Structure 1
Amino acid sequence: MPLSDRRILFVHAHPDDEVINNGATMAKYVTEGVQVTLVTCTAGEMGEVLVPDLEHLAFDKEGGLGEHRQGELADAMKAVGVTDHRFLGGFGRFHDSGMSWADDGSATAAEETPDGAFWHADLLVASDLLVEIIRELKPQILVTYDQFGGYGHPDHIQAHRVATYAMELSAVRSYKPELGEAWDVPKAYWVAMSRSQMSEGIKQVRAAGDETSFADWDPDNLPFGATDEELDAVVDATEFVEAKMEAMKAHPTQIALDGPFFALSNNLGNQVWGKEFYRLAKGTLGPVGPDGLEEDLFAGL
């Protein structure tokens, strides 16, 4: 397959993570002719099932949620126009690790994990699978999570580790040439939730009379999210919010239409979902806009 001039690779842990964090960015870049690739590390077999008629798919019942979420992911990618989406090592290679909630409201590893859990995957084995993809696609941009995985989920943390290690290995000329010609990814970003934007959103949701959404969160003391000072880039893709929302609706087992994500949309509209934030993890910051943030992840290349 011939490579386009601009190429971006997203590395996420489970189906639905990609559209919550980057759906509008994906849709915008696809429209601009950028080659957009998504690598998902697990099928999300341990996720909650929010659709009553599908509760039997839960891991602790009949199972089969991963296969169902594979279909949800395909539908979501159609909504944002992404045609190249892959599972790391192929579908089912790494199992969703599950999680539990810590006292501070962040996620943490569960006491028990299933066989083949991504959290326990050999780092080199998993990274080599991504090295081969990086060398095949030669992306100028790689996007993944920060070292905390955004909010502490072990699979998000592992995705960060695998993506970071794979980038380093991919650039080494003498490292496993059978995986392809060495490629040094010029820029990498960590997805970022703007803490100030989320805080304002929660306050507006409550001001509108919704005391259920984010009920356990203190908007003035959120357990995760990036401060304004930590942010480096924002992709303003407000004209692609409809595509992002359709992609989110394609994940009904994970994202409830009457849940907190859509409550934010109802109260803040395009403002909360149309602008997606990033932290520069590798490379040089390009030209910035009036707010001091890059407005294009390819800036400076």
Structure 2
Amino acid sequence: MSEAAPRRLLLLHAHPDDETIMTGGTIARYLAEGVDVRVLTFTLGEEGEVIGDEWAQLVADGGADQLGGYRIAELTRALAALSPSGSAPLRPRFLGGAGHWRDSGMAGAPSAEHPRALVQAGFDDVVATLVEEIVAFGPDVVITYDNAGTYGHPDHKLVHETTVAAMPRVRDRLATGSSRPPKVYESVSERSALESGLAAAAGRVPDGWTLPVADDLPSHADSSITTEIDVRDFVEAKAAALRAHATQVTVASSGTEYALSNNILQPIFDREHFILTSPGRRESGGRETDLFAADD
């Protein structure tokens, strides 16, 4: 009797560090369960701001423009931190190959005019490349961003838009074979989890950091969440992976909060939240606790 095919999980992210910030616990949990996990990153994050002085001259704006290459190394270390001890570490993979498309920078930035910026790419070219990745890998589950791109970054929004455009083509390709179309989820923050995490951290804000004010951090109403993944056993791995992204992230000594270059405190969640968008939202049975749960 042949063994069942491994479950496959594909996570789509815009820049190195997004995979850990949004879904690090989920990556670590499913790797530990033996799932075939692939993290597909769309750019190298060349336009990121750098924390501290050591690597400050790698930046694109007025610097050496070498940050993207360094962030490949950070991503490699982060994925290794999320991988089970004693196993081969998960390796980075980039849409179109490393360096094919470039970080566009924040909305309105001059970097968006760079000829290789992701937002300058032909939309259908990005979609077609993504379709080939999805069909070749054959995931059971695909994770992307919400339609706001989490916090409005143009590259995040494009990841969402290209995923939405790619899925009908994937379904058409799979209709002639035996594979089922993957479930598609949006990675989001639950509002009550964010509020609870910030309340717990209020008495231990590191020097130089601030608590967020209204709307600093995006979140979704609890009622919109369809899926909650318990990652309590993997919070330390997630914190270690965040530390690996040292040009972009600082982790508090508590190991339960982090900040980006703006020094605004954010909780490291012990549960990660998602909204199921395809094949369709579950109508009964409450929240899923497993991305691979059968559809109702």
Please state which band the TM-score falls in when normalised by the shorter chain: 0.7 to 0.9
Contact 2:131 2:170 in 1 (8 A): yes
CA shift in 2, pair 1:248/1:15, >3 Å = same
224, 238, 244: which one aligns with 2:238: 244
* Distance (Å, rounded) in 2 between the aligned partners of 1:117 and 1:135: 25
* Distance (Å, rounded) in 1 between the aligned partners of 2:60 and 2:254: 24
Aligned to 2:45: 44
- Count residues in correspondence: 279
Moved more, 183-192 or 121-130: 183-192
Moved more, 109-118 or 137-146: 109-118
Residue by residue over 1:126-167, the C-alpha shift from the partner in whole angstroms, topping out at 9 and shown as x without a partner, is 111111111111111000101110110111001111222122
What SS does structure 2 have at the residue aligned with 1:52?
Answer: coil
* Distance (Å, rounded) in 2 between the aligned partners of 1:273 and 1:190: 16
Contact 1:14 1:40 in 2 (8 A): yes
* Distance (Å, rounded) in 1 between the aligned partners of 2:24 and 2:185: 15
72, 91, 94: which one aligns with 1:87: 94
Residue by residue over 1:28-84, the C-alpha shift from the partner in whole angstroms, topping out at 9 and shown as x without a partner, is 111111110010000000001113110010111111000000001011111112525
Query: Match of 1:228, as an amino acid?
Result: D
Contact 1:11 1:40 in 2 (8 A): yes
Aligned to 2:142: 142
Q: CA RMSD in A?
A: 2.9
Is residue 276 of structure 2 the alignment partner of residue 280 of structure 1? yes
Contact 2:174 2:180 in 1 (8 A): no
Residue by residue over 1:104-141, the C-alpha shift from the partner in whole angstroms, topping out at 9 and shown as x without a partner, is xxxx4425522311122211101111111111111110
Is residue 272 of structure 2 the alignment partner of residue 294 of structure 1? no
| TM-score normalised according to structure 2 size | 0.85
Contact 1:255 1:261 in 2 (8 A): no
Query: Match of 2:171, as an amino acid?
Result: A
* Distance (Å, rounded) in 2 between the aligned partners of 1:77 and 1:233: 23
What SS does structure 2 have at the residue aligned with 1:53?
Answer: coil
Aligned to 1:268: none
Contact 1:285 1:294 in 2 (8 A): no
CA shift in 2, pair 1:209/1:72, >3 Å = closer
Aligned to 1:69: 71
Question: CA offset at residue 272 of structure 1?
Answer: 4.4
Contact 2:236 2:255 in 1 (8 A): no
Contact 1:171 1:182 in 2 (8 A): no
| TM-score normalised according to structure 1 size | 0.83
Query: Match of 1:251, as an amino acid?
Result: H
* Distance (Å, rounded) in 1 between the aligned partners of 2:254 and 2:58: 23
Moved more, 109-118 or 254-263: 254-263
1:114-153 pair list within 5 angstroms: 114-153=114-153
Aligned to 2:264: none
Aligned to 2:109: 110
Residue by residue over 1:186-212, the C-alpha shift from the partner in whole angstroms, topping out at 9 and shown as x without a partner, is 310000111222123223333446585
CA shift in 2, pair 1:7/1:190, >3 Å = same
CA shift in 2, pair 1:3/1:14, >3 Å = farther
Moved more, 228-237 or 184-193: 184-193
Moved more, 70-79 or 252-261: 252-261
Aligned to 2:23: 22
229, 232, 244: which one aligns with 1:235: 229
CA shift in 2, pair 1:73/1:56, >3 Å = same
Moved more, 193-202 or 25-34: 193-202
CA shift in 2, pair 1:47/1:260, >3 Å = farther
CA shift in 2, pair 1:78/1:157, >3 Å = same
Moved more, 27-36 or 278-287: 278-287
* Distance (Å, rounded) in 1 between the aligned partners of 2:101 and 2:187: 22
Aligned to 1:195: 191
Give ranges in structure 1 of 5+ residues lacking alignment: 100-107, 266-270
CA shift in 2, pair 1:19/1:287, >3 Å = farther
What SS does structure 1 have at the residue aligned with 2:160?
Answer: helix
Identity of aligned residues (%): 34
What SS does structure 2 have at the residue aligned with 1:166?
Answer: helix
Question: CA offset at residue 215 of structure 1?
Answer: 4.2
